[in-house]
Amino acid sequence: METQDQHEQAVLEGFSEPRVKPYMDAAQGDKTVALQLYSWNAQMAGAALEQLAHLEVLLRHAVDTQLSDKVNEAARGIPWFLLPPYYTSQAENIETVRSRLRPLGRETRDQIVAGLSFGFWSGWFGSKHDELWRQTLHRAFPHSSGNRKEISALVEQIRKFRNRVAHHDSLLKVDIGFEMEAVFRLASLINKDTSEWMKKTDRTRAVVAKRPSSTIALDTVIVPASDAWGFYQQSHAYICQAGRFFQNVTHMAFYADREVKREIPRIKKRYDNILWNSAEAARLQASTNRDERQLGKIMRDGINSGLWPGGRYQVFMLSKDGRSHVSIDKPLLNKRKGKSSAFVRKQRYTSIQKLRYANDVWDLV
């Protein structure tokens, strides 16, 4: 009779080794936990895809409506996507959908619109369509600032997340909450009521809680902080380049002066691709929203420091103290010397538990 271990091994052998490896690694070789994680990942992908599907329908309807109105489609009787310059801009994508629908006798306007990919719709927000944005596409986002780059960056972030989910990639190291926040943010810029409904029907939060607790270990990112540590002490924030990838973590530790500092703040809020200049800082500081005022102050401090001039950045708002803020007993020193002494070049992940009990930085590895 087949044992439980043999059964689990047989199940895992049904998938390719590269597909199973992230789950086996996270489960530290425990087949039972690996299968639980594999199932959890599928549940998370399904929950995320529900909201991504709602967003895709919302986005394409908003864009379709604006471009249809622009060409006066109702009077002309020709869909906007079959007219220049729209057709010539994305002819290959359009013809691919038409050729798929034609043999089925379903080559209607609505079916073509429904068949066009998320990449088709996201493609209208690039710089080459800047004039089209100014003329009409900005109206698809009535609750936005009207800045095309803001929408373009948000759509691109969501497109990457959607591809990862749709291709059945591992989501074990993805900050699901951060990605879903972007989904709801874009939806709210189109239709606030729809966005609120999406949040109420969202299942990702419930699925997150079902992840096997034994696999949730790396909750802290350690960043190199020659300049960042002093800035954190002043402004309780961390600034880095826009688009930099971080795993899903709750805390941030600073490595400076060859030691991990005692204070390990909780990550309160994360913003990516933030427009960064004095005018934007002043606008945010005048906001009625508390988080925006705080972001404006951080921006002002960063500009005044000379470390982060104008451009676009990613910002982490961090705790100063409080219940979730962690203070370890002593700084963790790096006593090694020579070529092998480098501890953090870009970032390193660890856990609060290891930070609490480590004797030096190498106990964190």
Structural domain spans, the chain:
48-209, 220-364
Q: Return the DSSP state at 236.
A: S
What is the per-residue pLDDT for 158? Answer: 96
With b meaning 16 or more CB within 10 Å and e meaning fewer, what string describes 245-257? ebebbebbbbbbe
CB 313 within 8 A of CB 242: yes
Contact 43, 207 (CB under 8 A): yes
Q: In what order do the strands lie in the sheet with 267-276?
A: 237-241, 311-318, 267-276
Asked if residue 12 lies in contact with residue 35, where contact means CB atoms within 8 angstroms, the answer is yes
Q: Quick one: which of 114, 85, 75 has its CA closest to 97?
A: 114
pTM: 0.69
Secondary structure of residue 223 in the 3-state scheme: strand
b/e burial code for range 56-66 (CB count within 10 A of at least 16 → b)? bebbbbbbbeb
Return d(Cα 126, Cα 122) in angstroms, integer: 8
Closest CA to 50 of 245, 170, 190, 207: 207
Tokens of 125: 């927000």
Beta strands in 215-305 (DSSP E): 220-224, 237-241, 251-256, 259-260, 263-264, 267-276
Task: Count CB neighbours of 362 within 10 A.
Answer: 14
Q: pLDDT by residue for the chain (365 residues), tens digit each?
A: 668 878 888 788 888 888 899 999 998 898 899 999 999 999 999 999 999 999 999 999 999 999 888 888 888 888 888 888 877 777 788 888 888 888 898 888 888 888 888 888 998 898 989 999 999 999 999 999 999 999 999 999 999 999 999 998 999 988 888 899 899 999 999 999 999 999 999 999 889 878 887 787 689 999 999 999 999 999 999 999 999 999 999 999 999 999 999 999 999 999 999 999 999 999 999 999 999 999 999 999 999 999 999 899 999 999 999 888 999 889 999 998 876 678 988 899 998 878 887 889 998 88
**pLDDT at 193 (0 to 100):** 98
CA-wise closest residue to 340 among 354, 359, 356, 361: 361
Q: CA 113, CA 116: separation in Å to the nearest integer?
A: 6
Q: ∠ CA 182-183-188 to the nearest 5 degrees?
A: 95
CB 54 within 8 A of CB 162: no
pLDDT of residue 221: 97
